[in-house]
Amino acid sequence: MNARIDNIIQQFKSKKVLVLGDFMLDVYIDGQCSRLAPEASVPILDVQKQTACLGGAGNVVFNLRKLGARVNYVTILGQDDSAKTAIGLLQDQCLDGLFIHFTSLSPTLTKTRLRMDGQYIYRFDHGKKIVADPQITKAYLADVRRAYQESDAVLIADYNKGSISPAVLKLLIQLKSEDNKVFAVDCKDYERYKALEPTMIKPNYQEARNIVREDAEDDRVQQASRWSRQIWKRSNAQLVALSLDKDGVLLSQEGALLFHYPVEQIATKNVAGAGDTLLAALLLSHLSGASPYEAVSIACTAASIGIRKTETAHCTFPELQFGMLETNDKVLTDLEDVSCVSGTLRAQKRIVFTNGCFDIFHSGHAHYLRQARELGDVLIVGINTDESVRRIKGANRPVNTLADRIEVLKQMQCVDFIVPFGSQEDDTPVPLIEAVRPHIFVKGEDYKDHKLPESELLDKLGTEVRFMPYVPHQSTTKIIERVQQKDMVLLKRIS
């Protein structure tokens, strides 16, 4: 990973953000439909799974925490079962401060989505507005003031559901005048926050059109590129990240368009919460000293990871690190990057690790690597550097340089990642195995009766050791001997 980008992302863990806005509970009901109800001739959805997630401002909290930030959250919930579920989900996030106020005047805002074979077929909502009495509002404002003092920034997620009342907005303007902090705002009406002079806002295309009062055009990028000054005048926002979903992001600063950031096209049926992921990562990047371009690049990477999720979008800290890696077509050269990759993949994939010199690549190598890959989902191959090979094999080896040997391994479809290793102090793969922490470690069966230098570590990690069948006559040493002796005996063919 680029050292500067890595430094920016690492700083996420030290940032503390106060989140304010409308909490929503997102419920997903998944099922199949193959019959009709006899009493009403309507489709029957046979429920297979029901999942509850943090939505609205709750998803902002979730995203900030998953990205490593510390979070204070002040919110209002109803007095119902949805509130009980919400409390449990919020407590699971281990927030620095969780300030919940309960109202009997309105239910907890809940959105329930029905899906059949992953396709949305219906959504029904419970609750339209959060309504609080004066006593609750007073306590809410007191908590906002307290949490503001110990936060680095404020992120407002206003879905026009009532949580950000005029009294709350008035308090925030006052607090900002007393102690100027970074403010990120995501809302339906950005002109409402003009007096707050936000550090950044994130309108989508529809919201931006509402600000400038224009009809939609086919070329959205070209059209939206004309809006920077108008949006700035009506929002007073220093940075405007205009999200065009599949068409990327337009970033402007104080009314001047800086750049258009295109994004990878992703086939997805779920974009719920993607804007929260984008803004959370953008804010943390800004707080961590990223340039505008770096911040948008990191934010778009996080959002692209988030929308691949089956539930409400989010991106974890390891996933973001993995997404920002520069892997050079499978090659990892830094142990921290190796640890990041394996840490991200380990939860859902079985990681297989093997190592060797792979000097003169032959059919035995290919057979061995394919077998190794079949044992799991990801194959990471450690390869000795040229200096390491010379220390192990002698001054006349390797025949092929590290770059050549890596290039051959890169062409193997079964190989997912390649990591050069070896040092004057240690030519074993032990440091690399510590970073990978594989589920399965593979060696050739000719090592079966040998004491492996990595055995103690493998036992400690609980890694399964597998020995692949030895293929007679298939070795780099035998090939070299054959060439040197002009031996015309054919090597054994692998069926």
pLDDT digits (tens, 9 = 90+) for 376-430: 999 999 999 999 999 999 998 898 999 999 999 999 999 999 999 999 999 999 9
Give the active site residue among 26, 158, 186, 276. 276
Residues 188-198: what's their mean pLDDT?
A: 95
Order of strands across the sheet that contains 440-444: 417-421, 378-384, 351-356, 440-444, 464-468
276 a catalytic residue: yes
pLDDT, residue 495, reads 46
pLDDT, residue 475, reads 63
φ and ψ at 234, to 5 degrees? -90, -10
What is the Cα–Cα distance from 23 to 264, expressed in whole angstroms? 30
pLDDT, residue 488, reads 52
Alpha-carbon dihedral sign for residues 293, 298, 304, 310: negative
Nearest CA to 436 out of 356, 347, 342 is that of: 342
Classified as helix, coil or strand, 313 is: coil
What is the Cα–Cα distance from 82 to 111, expressed in whole angstroms? 10
Structure tokens at 324: 């920002």
Share in percent of the chain as helix, strand, coil (round to 5) = 40, 25, 35
pLDDT, residue 266, reads 66
Residue 469 has pLDDT above 90, yes or no: no
Residues 479-495: what's their mean pLDDT?
A: 56
Domains of the chain: 3-34+45-323 (3.40.1190.20), 335-485 (3.40.50.620)
Structure tokens at 156: 């407002």
- Identify the residue with better confidence: 292 or 267: 292
Classified as helix, coil or strand, 40 is: coil
pLDDT in tens, 64-111: 999 999 999 999 999 999 999 999 999 999 999 999 999 999 999 999
pLDDT, residue 328, reads 58
Asked, as a colleague might, if the bond just before 398 is cis with ω within 30 of 0, I would say yes
Residue 267 has pLDDT above 90, yes or no: no
Nearest CA to 60 out of 313, 310, 309 is that of: 313
pLDDT, residue 318, reads 83
Residue 33 has pLDDT above 90, yes or no: no
User: For residue 264, what pLDDT band results from cuts at 50, 70 and 90?
Assistant: confident
- Calculate what percentage of the chain has a pLDDT beyond 90: 71
User: For residue 440, what pLDDT band results from cuts at 50, 70 and 90?
Assistant: very high
pLDDT, residue 18, reads 98
